[in-house]
Every structure is written in structure tokens, then in C-alpha cells.
Structure 1
Amino acid sequence: MGLSRRRLLATLGAGVTLGSAGCVGDDSSNPEPDRAGSASGSDTGPSAASTATDQRGGPRPPTADSRLYLEYEIETLEENIVSGGVPKDGIPAIDDPRFSDTPPDGLARDDPVFGVVRDGEAKAYPQYILVHHEVVNDAIAGDSVAVTYCPLTGTAQGFARGPVEFGVSGRLVNSNLTMYDRGTDSWWPQMLATAIKGPLTGESLQEFRVVWTTWDRWNAVYPETTVLTEDTDFSRRYGVDPYGQYNGKRGYYSSTRTLFEPLQGDSRAHPKAVVIGTRTETGAVAFDKETLLSQRVLTGRSDDTPYVAVADTALATGYVYANPASVTVKATDGGYAIDGTTHDADSLPLARSLAFDAMWFAWAGFYPGSAYVG
């Protein structure tokens, strides 16, 4: 790259030492990694098929019975692994998260949070805390899960973790957080949810929906929610984002520049425009989030399958459904009408496909053949 990571962050007004948070840092002492080794609903990804141990008898995360769509050979993805500038676990996952019924003092009403509901239990994870950790190993409604966030790609995603925990490998692919599981040391680019290095190479994780919204919106819809606190056992400058800020957007989050070259360039949208994308075993499609929130219903296709996306105006998010019969979905004052019956955005009588927010450059880099609806 012509512009160093440090100079770019300085230009963007990052304002803190790189090694203190986020995907990138000072790699002057970066050793090689050890190579030993939802919102409730129907969008939980492919069904489970794995056991809790790998072929060597060690613990492993549960995986799906089919692999998610990839546009690259795994060898190509492995060749594009780069150092993010921090050693393995240099960005520390939160392994003992603590929650409160009241928000932390540093959480403003319109600050971003990542919300999860499982079996009636609602939790919120503030972006300003996760930017310093990227992975939270948690349990929700008795299920062991990992809630993950990559600031460089603007992606918040949830995964079942079974008997193992996830950590931050210090490596990136297409600017995206590459996790590792502490059972097999397999490497998992977050957006792909598929291992590209290690004993579980080629397998995909079980996923669940994480909703990117704001604290006031989440708390209004789920007043019984608990929220992650700053009591993490780590000394961090919570409230200081090394990449800029989201409320309102500035720095890295609004610039056209990226810290690392994407796998593919795509000029169909601003590089940092937010899309709500879905990928299945056969293809991918992305819907511009701002357009979806404005128009409320968008349609697109992936691998010749029609999809419909609808906006959830209360949470300022969207849901994506496979719509093979191309049924008509109309926005109404009370929700969405299909054949004369009105439904909520998250409960259309169609097969919901797991979707998540992402910056366009990252989505297009991983899925250059993806349809884009904007």
C-alpha cells in the first residue's frame, strides 16, 4: 500500500495508539501464531451436524451440515491472510462478560449496540466496548455463544461455540477479523464463518442473528434487556474509538480509504456504505441498508432464487427471506401484507435467511459475484 496503516489512521483522526484496540496494531513484537493445532427466528443458518470433539478427540466448536458459499478456493483465501499488526490474543477476547440492567455511563442513547435474543433472553453489546475486544465468549439462555465484531468491515455476527472459546488470531483476510477456536486452533474469517486453516478447514460454523441498532431503539423494543458493562478485567480507554466514531460517523467509518487492499474492488457503492447481506450454500445477495430503510421492501436474486428484504423500522434493521414463489410483499402501516394478512418484519411466512450488516467493500471483496440492490 502507498499509505501506511499508521499514517492512514493519523489522517483519519484515530487519536490513540494502534495496539490498544481494534484489528490493527504495532507488529514490532508480533510472533508467528501457534500452529499446533439471534434475534430469535428461523435465520440460524444451516442445521447442526458436528460433534463436540474433533477427530483427535479434542474439543471443537459445533459446525453446520453444509458449507456456506465461497467465491474463492480456500487456498486463495489462505494465501491472502495478512498480519493485522498484533500478536495472537493481542486483542483480548472477553471471556467473563458481566451484564447489568442499566447501561454503562459511557453508552449514549443513540450509540450503536449489537443486540441478541435467544429463547426470550435479550442482551446488548455496546460497540464502544467491543471495538477493544472483538470477541465476547458468552452464554445466552444456557447456550454457549460467541458475539463478534470487526471494526474494519463493520460486521457483528454470532456463532455457537459449544465447549470451546474463540479468540482473535491477529490476522486478517479482506480486512476482516480472523478468529481462531481454542480447541483446534482452526482459523475462521468472521464474515465467511468457514475455516480456512487448521483441522476444521472447509467447515462452516453455526450462526445466529446479531442486530446492529442503537441503544435507545434496542431498549425500547426489549426493555428487559441486559447490557454488557465495562467491567471486563481489562484496562481500556472505553469510549475512545481508535478508528473514529459512529455517532455521527467520522474517521475510518466515513472515509473511502481502507487499511488493507480488498480481495476485489467494486464501485457499485461507496466502499463504506452499509449493506445487509445474506449468503447461503449457493450464493450471495446484498441490499443497501439506507435504501431498504427508506423504501421498506426490496427484491433481489441469488443463484436464480428470488429474495425479498424488509425493513424493521423500530430497530432500524432489515430481514431477508428466500421467496422462490415470488409472492408479493407490501409495506403497510402495521407491518407487511402477504395475501391479505399482515406480518411483522421478522416473521414473514417465508424462509428467513441469516443476514448481517457489512461495509460494501468487504462484502464485495468476499462476494464479487454478489447481486447488489441499492
Structure 2
Amino acid sequence: MKLYPLLFLLSGLLWTIACNPAGSVQSPGETETVASKPNRPSALLNGKFFTKDDRKYLFGGERADQHFDVTNCDLKIEQFHYGLGREAFPALLEPEFISVETANAIWQKNDRFLVARIGNDTRAYSIKDLTRHEVVNDVIDGRPVFAAYCILADLGAMYDRTIGGREYTFALSGYTYFDPKVWDGMDGFVMWDRETESLWWPLIGEAVSGKMKGTEMIVLDEALWKQTTWGDVLENHPDARVLRSGQNFARPLSWHRRYDETIETKNTGKSVAPEWGANKTIKQ
């Protein structure tokens, strides 16, 4: 009679081996991580790519002049997601700010922020607001910059808007892109610039289509900005100007290219943002 419990245990062991032939054991956390990755809408399957007059385009809006020319894009079209069109997120052009004293009624000490200090001008951008805008074009102490945050990749950084001596304005294309070999295979937002309508993928730090293709983005010198919290802003940057929540902007009826010719640039700094938490100190 004692044989039956033994047979029961053996059958359970054989079932475990059959389900896991490599003999490895996954923790519950690992299993949940794999299972929780959402299925995002494919831009290709949803008809966002099309060809016209031997040129390849990516849907950018309801009007014909809003589509992105991606003829020279080398990214794999099956790895593009979504397809909301340009300016679906209200990337700010003329951001408004409030004092730290006023903002303290809104934010908690552990709320995450990007803080930039250039000259005597300090700006603080909450990650919660950046999740809505994703891009905030700004000028700090006369220097054109932009703050950016991608919630899917948890990428938050400050960038220079002057590239090759020219000033650019950045916004969201309405698409994300992923590469299994980049940033742990996470989806990351795809931006565009209004001046050339090129597409940029911050996870590799460069333009991926259009006239600026191959041009590197410029992450601000890490001595000028940091990834931090509201508690740090309160303690170390009481004079900062804080991005006002709830802003919007009137989307233009049309976009006009400013730069038609290509330029060659050389970025001597970083083009890819540090992972969150890697940049914590501003040079005083």
C-alpha cells in the first residue's frame, strides 16, 4: 500500500521535468515579467505604411502633407507600433513655469523630476507631466534644449536642440519602435523634428529617416542636469522654475520645413540617454 504515495511523487516529478526540460527553475517574478508584456498594435498590420510615386511613407495625420517620408529608413517596419499620427501628444513649444513654493502644494517628495541648471537658470520638469507631453521644448539661459520622457522605456533626459549650428523643434510622431538588441528590447517613442520632418529614435540616439538620417542627438552634458525627485528640488534648488501642470497648445494647421539641405555634424558628447538613476548630480 505504501507504493501508491511513491508512484504519486514520481509522476509529479516526471510532469515537472516534462514541462521544464532544461531543468531550469523560474521565479514567480520572472514568469510574471514575461507574461505581462503587452501586445501593442502593429503599425504595419494596421496599414500605417504605404507607397506613393515610388516613395515610402508612414501615416502622420489626416492630411496628405502630414505623412512622414521614410524611403531611406532602415528600421524594420514590422517593429513599429501604434500610429496615432504627429502631435497626438501635446509636446510643448512655449512652456510655462511656477515657483517651487507654489508647486510644493502639488508634488510629493518622492515624485520624480528632471532638473536642468544652465548659468543661473534652473528648471524642473515632473515625470508625471512629461508622461503627458513626452517632449518639452525650452530655452534655458539662452540655450535651446528639450526635456523628454518615454514611459515605455523609462527614458528621461535633457537634450540640446542646437545641432550643427541649427535650432530644431522636437515632437512626437505617434509611433514607438523596438529592437530586441536595444534597451532590453523595450518599446521607445519615435520623435520627429518640425524643421526637416526627419524621424528620430532616442533609444539609439539618432535620426532614422529623412534629411537628418544618421545625425546623432545631443544629450546635455551630465553636469548640467539630473534625474531626481521633488524632495531634492525642495532641498537643493529652491530657486528653480517648475513646469506648470495642465498645459496644452494649439496644433498648427500646417508644418513648414525650414531646412531643405542636409548638413554634416559631429557630436563629441553623448547621444543616448543614461538609464534612470544613473545621472544624479548637477555641477554647482
Q: Identify whether the pair has TM-score above 0.5, normalized to the shorter chain.
A: yes
Larger relative helix fraction: 2
Aligned to 1:216, the other structure's residue is in SS state helix
Per-residue CA shift, 1:270-300, capped at 9, x if unaligned?
xxxxxxxxxx89999x88x7xxxxxxxxxxx
1:135 maps onto 2:135 in alignment: yes
Instruction: Indicate the structure (1 or 2) with the bigger Cα radius of gyration.
Output: 2
Alpha-carbon offset, residue 93 of structure 1? 0.5
**Paired position in structure 2 for 1:324:** none
1:164 to 148, 163, 168: 168
1:197 maps onto 2:209 in alignment: yes
In structure 2, stretches of 5+ residues that fail to align are 1-34, 49-57, 61-65, 179-186, 251-267
Aligned residues: 197
Alpha-carbon offset, residue 219 of structure 1? 2.5
Give the Cα–Cα distance (whole angstroms) in 1 for the partners of residues 46 and 78 of structure 2.
21
Give the Cα–Cα distance (whole angstroms) in 2 for the partners of residues 157 and 283 of structure 1.
11
2:215 counterpart letter in structure 1: E
Give the Cα–Cα distance (whole angstroms) in 2 for the partners of residues 76 and 169 of structure 1.
17
2:81 to 80, 83, 96: 83
The 3 A distance-change label for structure 1 pair 224 and 134 is same
Alpha-carbon offset, residue 141 of structure 1? 0.7
1:32 maps onto 2:65 in alignment: no
Aligned to 1:91, the other structure's residue is in SS state coil
Q: Aligned residues: percent identity? A: 22
Give the Cα–Cα distance (whole angstroms) in 2 for the partners of residues 137 and 24 of structure 1.
28
Alpha-carbon offset, residue 77 of structure 1? 2.9
1:97 counterpart letter in structure 2: P
Matches within 5 A, 1:228-307: 228-233=243-248
**Are the equivalent residues in 2 in contact too, given 1:115–1:123 (CA < 8 A)?**
yes
Give the Cα–Cα distance (whole angstroms) in 2 for the partners of residues 346 and 282 of structure 1.
16
Alpha-carbon offset, residue 233 of structure 1? 2.7
1:113 counterpart letter in structure 2: F
Q: Which runs of 4+ in 1 moved over 4 A?
A: 23-31, 280-284, 316-319
1:218 maps onto 2:245 in alignment: no
Alpha-carbon offset, residue 126 of structure 1? 0.7
Alpha-carbon offset, residue 28 of structure 1? 8.3
Normalised by the size of structure 1, how large is the TM-score?
Answer: 0.45
**Are the equivalent residues in 1 in contact too, given 2:157–2:227 (CA < 8 A)?**
no
2:132 counterpart letter in structure 1: H
Alpha-carbon offset, residue 125 of structure 1? 0.4
Give the Cα–Cα distance (whole angstroms) in 2 for the partners of residues 137 and 119 of structure 1.
18
In structure 1, stretches of 5+ residues that fail to align are 1-10, 13-22, 38-73, 236-279, 290-315, 320-344, 348-374
- RMSD (CA atoms): 3.9
**Are the equivalent residues in 1 in contact too, given 2:173–2:192 (CA < 8 A)?**
yes
